[in-house]
């Protein structure tokens, strides 16, 4: 069983907040970006590697590869999974990745989305993915950084 210490949705993926705050608080030593586009984009990987703390390894896997190999993780790996969308997290859960809770950190406003929290804007597809995750027993919480209060997750469903 892999030691998943954090699963976070953040459309910026690895950046300052994840690298400097969340990794330290949750004790992660491996940042795993599960994203099909980034898995094939060396430039973006290089930029994100610069933001990762020196004590964390980074991996950039497709959703399918994450599902296929997460069970082979070493017990010494304390994994923070970073996804861009709730749909990607849902694919991981449905693919057998044992995710118990999801930190919803940052989802930018875009056409077809509505603001539901300080840094979270959702579309109808996002809401459907969150509902399905909840049905599958996954705890959801909205929290930008560890030292501020969680926001009301029920706002996602209004």
Query: Quick one: average pLDDT of 71-92?
Result: 97
CA distance 135 to 132: 5
Q: Which residues are catalytic?
A: 15
CA distance 55 to 62: 23
pLDDT one-digit tens code per residue, 117-130: 989 999 999 999 99
- pLDDT higher than 80, residue 17: no
pTM for this prediction: 0.96
- pLDDT higher than 90, residue 18: no
Q: How confident is the model at residue 16 (pLDDT cuts 50, 70, 90)?
A: confident
- The fraction of the chain above a pLDDT of 90, given in percent, is 92
CA distance 87 to 83: 9
Beta bridge partners of 104: 9, 142
- The fraction of the chain above a pLDDT of 70, given in percent, is 100
pLDDT at 102: 98
Nearest Cα neighbor of 116 from 78, 154, 87, 89 is: 154
Q: How confident is the model at residue 151 (pLDDT cuts 50, 70, 90)?
A: very high
CA distance 126 to 132: 10
Beta bridge partners of 7: 81
């Amino acid at each position: 069983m892999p030691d998943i210490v954090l699963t976070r949705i953040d459309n910026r993926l690895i950046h300052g907040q994840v690298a400097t705050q969340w990794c330290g608080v949750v004790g992660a030593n491996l940042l795993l970006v599960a994203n099909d586009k980034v898995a094939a984009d060396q430039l973006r990987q290089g930029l994100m590697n610069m933001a990762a703390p020196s004590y964390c390894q980074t991996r950039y896997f497709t959703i399918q590869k994450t599902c296929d190999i997460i069970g082979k993780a070493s017990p010494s790996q304390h994994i923070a999974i970073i996804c861009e969308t709730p749909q990607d997290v849902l694919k991981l859960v449905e693919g057998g990745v044992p995710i118990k809770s999801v930190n919803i950190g940052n989802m930018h406003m875009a056409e077809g989305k509505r603001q539901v929290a300080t840094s979270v804007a959702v579309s109808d597809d996002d809401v459907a993915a969150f509902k399905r995750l909840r049905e599958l027993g996954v705890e959801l919480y909205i929290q930008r950084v560890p030292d501020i209060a969680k926001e009301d997750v029920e706002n996602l469903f209004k």
